[in-house]
Amino acid sequence: MVIQSPTYLVASGDSRLAANQTCWEAQDNLEKALNKTFQSFNHTIKRAHEYDEIKKHGFIDSQRMGMQVFANLPSDNVPLIVAEAVWQYSHHVLAGLTTHKGPILTVANWSGQWPGLVGMLNLNGSLTKANIKYKWLENGTIEHDISHIRSLNQCKQISSEYEEIGKKIAEDLLKNKAIMGVFDEGCMGMYNAIVPDELLHKLGIFKERLSQSALYYEMQNTKDEEARAI
Protein backbone atom coordinates (compact mmCIF):
# COMPACT_ATOMS: atom_id res chain seq x y z
CA MET A 1 0.00 0.00 0.00
CA VAL A 2 1.51 3.32 -1.05
CA ILE A 3 0.71 6.06 1.44
CA GLN A 4 0.12 9.52 0.05
CA SER A 5 1.35 12.69 1.72
CA PRO A 6 0.44 14.26 4.03
CA THR A 7 -0.50 11.67 6.62
CA TYR A 8 -2.84 12.98 9.30
CA LEU A 9 -2.28 12.39 13.01
CA VAL A 10 -4.71 12.31 15.93
CA ALA A 11 -3.87 11.89 19.61
CA SER A 12 -6.46 10.67 22.08
CA GLY A 13 -5.86 11.81 25.63
CA ASP A 14 -7.37 11.67 29.09
CA SER A 15 -10.59 13.42 30.06
CA ARG A 16 -8.82 15.11 32.97
CA LEU A 17 -7.08 18.40 32.25
CA ALA A 18 -4.24 17.93 34.75
CA ALA A 19 -3.36 14.50 33.33
CA ASN A 20 -3.24 15.84 29.78
CA GLN A 21 -1.07 18.79 30.80
CA THR A 22 1.34 16.60 32.77
CA CYS A 23 1.71 14.08 29.96
CA TRP A 24 1.88 16.47 27.02
CA GLU A 25 5.69 16.64 26.99
CA ALA A 26 5.96 12.87 26.50
CA GLN A 27 3.40 13.02 23.68
CA ASP A 28 5.23 15.91 22.02
CA ASN A 29 8.50 13.95 22.11
CA LEU A 30 6.82 10.92 20.55
CA GLU A 31 5.37 12.98 17.73
CA LYS A 32 8.72 14.61 17.00
CA ALA A 33 10.34 11.18 16.71
CA LEU A 34 7.49 9.99 14.52
CA ASN A 35 7.84 13.00 12.24
CA LYS A 36 11.56 12.35 11.86
CA THR A 37 10.93 8.72 10.90
CA PHE A 38 8.27 9.60 8.35
CA GLN A 39 10.47 12.27 6.81
CA SER A 40 13.14 9.62 6.21
CA PHE A 41 10.56 7.89 3.96
CA ASN A 42 9.69 11.18 2.23
CA HIS A 43 6.33 11.47 3.97
CA THR A 44 4.99 14.35 6.02
CA ILE A 45 2.69 14.27 9.02
CA LYS A 46 -0.02 16.85 9.64
CA ARG A 47 -1.87 17.09 12.93
CA ALA A 48 -5.65 16.89 12.52
CA HIS A 49 -6.11 19.06 15.62
CA GLU A 50 -3.89 21.82 16.95
CA TYR A 51 -2.21 22.38 20.29
CA ASP A 52 -4.58 24.30 22.59
CA GLU A 53 -2.84 27.35 24.09
CA ILE A 54 -5.48 27.69 26.78
CA LYS A 55 -5.59 24.04 27.87
CA LYS A 56 -1.80 23.68 27.41
CA HIS A 57 -1.99 20.35 25.60
CA GLY A 58 -2.80 18.97 22.15
CA PHE A 59 -4.94 15.96 23.01
CA ILE A 60 -8.47 15.09 21.97
CA ASP A 61 -10.08 15.20 25.41
CA SER A 62 -13.75 14.35 24.79
CA GLN A 63 -15.87 12.16 22.56
CA ARG A 64 -17.57 15.17 21.00
CA MET A 65 -14.23 16.81 20.20
CA GLY A 66 -13.08 13.58 18.55
CA MET A 67 -16.17 13.46 16.36
CA GLN A 68 -15.56 17.04 15.26
CA VAL A 69 -11.91 16.35 14.47
CA PHE A 70 -12.85 13.47 12.17
CA ALA A 71 -15.66 15.51 10.58
CA ASN A 72 -13.11 18.21 9.69
CA LEU A 73 -10.64 15.88 7.93
CA PRO A 74 -10.31 16.73 4.23
CA SER A 75 -11.85 13.33 3.43
CA ASP A 76 -12.62 10.05 5.16
CA ASN A 77 -10.03 8.10 3.17
CA VAL A 78 -6.85 10.00 4.09
CA PRO A 79 -4.06 7.95 5.74
CA LEU A 80 -4.27 8.35 9.50
CA ILE A 81 -2.02 7.76 12.49
CA VAL A 82 -3.29 7.44 16.05
CA ALA A 83 -0.22 8.25 18.17
CA GLU A 84 -0.23 7.62 21.93
CA ALA A 85 2.40 8.28 24.58
CA VAL A 86 -0.11 8.36 27.44
CA TRP A 87 -3.09 6.62 28.93
CA GLN A 88 -6.05 7.54 26.76
CA TYR A 89 -9.84 7.27 26.67
CA SER A 90 -10.64 5.20 23.58
CA HIS A 91 -14.12 6.62 23.00
CA HIS A 92 -12.53 9.98 22.13
CA VAL A 93 -11.52 8.56 18.74
CA LEU A 94 -13.41 5.27 18.35
CA ALA A 95 -16.49 6.87 16.82
CA GLY A 96 -14.46 8.53 14.06
CA LEU A 97 -12.36 5.44 13.43
CA THR A 98 -15.47 3.28 12.87
CA THR A 99 -16.30 5.21 9.68
CA HIS A 100 -12.80 6.16 8.51
CA LYS A 101 -12.15 4.51 5.13
CA GLY A 102 -8.45 5.32 4.80
CA PRO A 103 -5.55 3.29 6.21
CA ILE A 104 -5.14 3.54 10.00
CA LEU A 105 -1.89 3.03 11.89
CA THR A 106 -1.68 2.94 15.69
CA VAL A 107 1.66 3.94 17.25
CA ALA A 108 2.68 4.07 20.92
CA ASN A 109 5.77 4.74 22.99
CA TRP A 110 7.39 2.07 25.14
CA SER A 111 7.78 3.67 28.54
CA GLY A 112 7.31 2.48 32.08
CA GLN A 113 6.55 6.04 33.17
CA TRP A 114 4.20 7.11 30.39
CA PRO A 115 1.71 4.31 29.64
CA GLY A 116 1.25 4.88 25.92
CA LEU A 117 1.57 1.15 25.28
CA VAL A 118 -1.18 0.38 27.80
CA GLY A 119 -3.44 3.01 26.29
CA MET A 120 -2.74 1.69 22.80
CA LEU A 121 -3.46 -1.93 23.76
CA ASN A 122 -6.83 -0.76 25.04
CA LEU A 123 -7.55 1.16 21.83
CA ASN A 124 -6.36 -1.73 19.62
CA GLY A 125 -8.60 -4.09 21.58
CA SER A 126 -11.55 -1.80 20.92
CA LEU A 127 -10.67 -1.54 17.21
CA THR A 128 -10.33 -5.33 16.95
CA LYS A 129 -13.70 -5.87 18.58
CA ALA A 130 -15.24 -3.30 16.19
CA ASN A 131 -13.60 -5.13 13.24
CA ILE A 132 -11.52 -2.07 12.23
CA LYS A 133 -8.15 -2.72 10.58
CA TYR A 134 -5.23 -0.67 11.91
CA LYS A 135 -2.04 -1.70 10.09
CA TRP A 136 -0.21 -0.36 7.04
CA LEU A 137 1.56 -2.78 4.76
CA GLU A 138 3.24 -2.30 1.38
CA ASN A 139 2.45 -5.95 0.62
CA GLY A 140 1.93 -9.31 2.29
CA THR A 141 0.51 -9.94 5.75
CA ILE A 142 1.73 -10.11 9.35
CA GLU A 143 1.52 -13.61 10.78
CA HIS A 144 1.54 -13.75 14.57
CA ASP A 145 2.89 -16.76 16.43
CA ILE A 146 -0.08 -18.66 17.82
CA SER A 147 1.74 -21.91 18.57
CA HIS A 148 0.89 -21.47 22.27
CA ILE A 149 -2.82 -21.79 21.53
CA ARG A 150 -4.44 -25.20 21.98
CA SER A 151 -7.91 -26.45 21.24
CA LEU A 152 -10.04 -26.92 24.36
CA ASN A 153 -10.49 -30.52 23.31
CA GLN A 154 -6.74 -31.03 23.69
CA CYS A 155 -6.69 -29.84 27.28
CA LYS A 156 -6.55 -32.26 30.17
CA GLN A 157 -9.92 -33.78 30.96
CA ILE A 158 -11.38 -32.75 34.31
CA SER A 159 -12.43 -35.40 36.80
CA SER A 160 -16.02 -36.62 36.84
CA GLU A 161 -16.38 -35.09 40.33
CA TYR A 162 -15.53 -31.59 39.11
CA GLU A 163 -17.57 -32.05 35.96
CA GLU A 164 -20.61 -32.87 38.08
CA ILE A 165 -20.05 -29.74 40.19
CA GLY A 166 -19.83 -27.64 37.03
CA LYS A 167 -23.06 -29.08 35.67
CA LYS A 168 -24.91 -28.34 38.91
CA ILE A 169 -23.68 -24.74 38.91
CA ALA A 170 -24.69 -24.31 35.26
CA GLU A 171 -28.14 -25.79 35.88
CA ASP A 172 -28.64 -23.52 38.89
CA LEU A 173 -27.65 -20.43 36.89
CA LEU A 174 -30.06 -21.29 34.09
CA LYS A 175 -32.93 -21.96 36.50
CA ASN A 176 -32.47 -19.33 39.22
CA LYS A 177 -30.39 -16.78 37.26
CA ALA A 178 -27.67 -14.55 38.72
CA ILE A 179 -27.07 -10.82 38.85
CA MET A 180 -23.65 -9.41 38.05
CA GLY A 181 -23.03 -5.92 39.40
CA VAL A 182 -21.17 -3.75 36.91
CA PHE A 183 -19.71 -0.37 37.85
CA ASP A 184 -19.19 2.20 35.08
CA GLU A 185 -19.28 -0.30 32.25
CA GLY A 186 -17.04 0.76 29.39
CA CYS A 187 -15.50 3.59 31.40
CA MET A 188 -12.55 5.32 29.71
CA GLY A 189 -13.98 4.15 26.40
CA MET A 190 -13.11 0.49 26.97
CA TYR A 191 -15.48 -0.88 24.36
CA ASN A 192 -13.27 -3.98 24.24
CA ALA A 193 -14.02 -4.75 27.91
CA ILE A 194 -17.80 -4.88 27.53
CA VAL A 195 -19.19 -8.42 27.47
CA PRO A 196 -22.36 -8.36 25.29
CA ASP A 197 -25.54 -8.87 27.30
CA GLU A 198 -26.95 -11.39 24.81
CA LEU A 199 -23.98 -13.71 25.46
CA LEU A 200 -24.33 -13.51 29.23
CA HIS A 201 -28.10 -14.05 29.11
CA LYS A 202 -27.57 -17.50 27.58
CA LEU A 203 -25.59 -18.39 30.72
CA GLY A 204 -28.30 -17.17 33.08
CA ILE A 205 -26.30 -14.07 34.06
CA PHE A 206 -27.82 -10.60 33.91
CA LYS A 207 -26.18 -7.24 34.55
CA GLU A 208 -27.17 -4.70 37.16
CA ARG A 209 -25.53 -1.46 36.06
CA LEU A 210 -24.36 0.52 39.06
CA SER A 211 -22.79 3.92 39.56
CA GLN A 212 -19.73 4.79 41.63
CA SER A 213 -21.64 7.63 43.26
CA ALA A 214 -24.27 5.15 44.49
CA LEU A 215 -21.51 2.89 45.80
CA TYR A 216 -19.90 5.81 47.65
CA TYR A 217 -23.24 6.78 49.20
CA GLU A 218 -23.84 3.25 50.47
CA MET A 219 -20.29 3.11 51.86
CA GLN A 220 -21.03 6.11 54.04
CA ASN A 221 -24.15 4.45 55.44
CA THR A 222 -22.88 0.91 55.95
CA LYS A 223 -21.02 -0.12 59.10
CA ASP A 224 -17.66 -1.82 58.65
CA GLU A 225 -18.86 -4.89 60.54
CA GLU A 226 -21.80 -5.35 58.16
CA ALA A 227 -19.57 -4.90 55.09
CA ARG A 228 -17.04 -7.44 56.32
CA ALA A 229 -19.79 -9.93 57.12
CA ILE A 230 -21.18 -9.65 53.61
- Boundary-marking domain end, from 129, 148, 181: 129
16 and 67 in a single domain? The answer is yes
Q: For residue 1, tell me if it sits in a domain.
A: no
* CA distances for 62 relative to 87, 90, 135, angstroms: 14, 10, 25
Q: Which domain holds residue 60?
A: 7-129
> Do 123 and 170 reside in the same domain of the chain?
no
For 194, the enclosing helix (H) or strand (E) is: none
Residue 154 lies in a domain: no
pLDDT in tens, the chain (230 residues): 555 569 999 999 999 999 999 999 999 999 999 999 999 988 899 999 999 999 999 999 999 999 999 999 999 999 999 999 999 999 999 999 999 999 999 999 988 788 888 899 999 999 999 999 998 877 777 888 999 998 888 888 888 999 999 999 999 999 999 999 888 888 888 999 999 999 999 999 999 988 878 888 888 999 999 989 98
48, 103: one domain: yes
Q: What is the pLDDT of residue 21?
A: 97
Q: At what angle do helices 63-71 and 91-99 cross, to 10 degrees?
A: 30
Q: Are 204 and 178 in contact, with CB atoms under 8 Å apart? A: yes
Instruction: Please report, for residues 4, 41, 132, the alpha-carbon distance to residue 139 in angstroms, rounded to integers and kept in the order given.
Output: 16, 16, 19
Q: How many domains does the chain have?
A: 2
Q: 68 near 24, Cβ under 8 Å?
A: no
Instruction: For residue 6, say if its preceding peptide bond is cis, omega within 30 degrees of 0.
Output: yes
* pTM for this prediction: 0.81
Task: Pick the closest to residue 48 from 102, 87, 119 (CA basis).
Answer: 102
Contact 114, 42 (CB under 8 A): no
Residue 137 within any structural domain of the chain: no
For residues 31 and 118, membership in a common domain is answered with yes
Task: Give the Cα separation of 87 and 117 in Å (integer).
Answer: 8
Residue 149 placed within a domain: no
The span from the CA of 134 to the CA of 26, in Å, is 23
